[in-house]
Amino acid sequence: MTSTVVHLPAPRVPRVRAATGRLQDNPVVGHKRVLLAAPRGYCAGVDRAVVAVEKALERYGAPVYVRKQIVHNIHVVTELEDKGAIFVEEVDEVPEGAHVVFSAHGVSPAVVDAASERGLHAIDATCPLVTKVHREAVRFARDDFEILLIGHDGHEEVEGTAGEAPDHVTVVNSPAEADTVQVKDPSKVVWLSQTTLSVDETMETVNRLRTRFPDLHNPPSDDICYATQNRQVAIKKVAANADLVIVVGSSNSSNSVRLVEVALEYGAKAAYRVDYAEEVKQEWLDGVATVGVTSGASVPEVLVREVLDALAGAGYQDVEEVKTAEEDLMFSLPKELRQDSSGQRDARALGGRASHGSA
Ligand code: SF4
């Protein structure tokens, strides 16, 4: 099994609109259909983060600065830019005294301190499930554990978590690295992980670590979040019956890239990731009767609908949803935004939009 290091930010490829009806309805053996995975798309943490930027723009007016992409989806970022958000790489690019939103992937304490020193008004849209991992890192470091953080070096979530206890954290990028990573005291080691990894690959890494360090401690609860796990379970079921799987998601979206890998491992004959429907290629559909479709946790449903419309134009009008879980989790908005300007509790203080993931 291989692991992909995610380099950020994703290239800002402008959307190229193609003529409708671009895909041809060529004959295939068997009945053309789509298996649509559910859950898919927006998770509670992404929804909260996007609503946080929208509310900050409503409350404070444009521009509102956002450190890094608020979520890893080019469409979401472009839409927020159109509304007046300015995305920066670091807080030193933000004018003193301005509002800055920290992305769903979290930040290290050094970033919080830098924003404070600059007199910025920070709004922390870190997903609560990422914050949970930060707290675990702080606690295990306080108890003098060495922390093996399974995740992708360079991903901002990993940078944020590692930054909570830099002297205690070693990043383990892949199962292969589990065979070589060095620790000072094998009796005092714990593993934690990035929230958006492949469940299977992470367990392989843990098993290989445990072979070398039998006293390896487990995190108190799953670090790979519910949304990542649910989307992987759903695509496993779809992939087993699909000739082709299309994952809607951006190239820097860890959980979207993992969905392509998982689909291939679980039986899809081919699997591709696209940002937009226009990227679906005619040759992918050659001889394909069943197309599986899913989307990463940072993907708005409208982009999936556009892929389904493109597929319908190519004869894949029969869409069957394959649902493996219900999701109804919602998170409160960041505390800075829970009250409106008159001090009343905001109507959307608890969560953002009405639905997540399923059709
Ligand atoms: S993918 Fe998981 S950890 Fe990331 S924002 Fe969504 S719920 Fe939170």
**Which of 73, 102, 199, 225 to probe ligand 1 with, by most ligand atoms within 8 A of CB?**
225
Atom of ligand 1 nearest to the CA of 46: 5
What pairs with residue 66 in β-bridges?
A: 87, 101
Residues near 292 by beta carbon (within 8 Å), at least 6 away in sequence: 34, 35, 36, 37, 235, 238, 239, 241, 242, 244, 245, 246, 263, 268
pTM as predicted: 0.92
Which sign does the torsion angle of CA 234, 37, 205, 185 carry? negative
**Mean pLDDT to the nearest integer, 264-281:** 98
Whole-number pLDDT of residue 9: 47
The set of protein residues with a Cβ atom below 6 angstroms from ligand 1 is 43-46, 104, 127, 129-130, 195-196, 225, 227-228, 255, 297
**Which of 130, 161, 222, 257 to probe ligand 1 with, by most ligand atoms within 8 A of CB?**
130
Which residues are tagged catalytic? 157
> How would residue 345 be classed by pLDDT, with cut points 50, 70 and 90?
confident
Percent of the chain with pLDDT over 90: 87
CA distance 34 to 177: 38
CA distance 110 to 124: 14
pLDDT tens-digit profile of 78-100?
Answer: 999 999 999 999 999 999 999 99
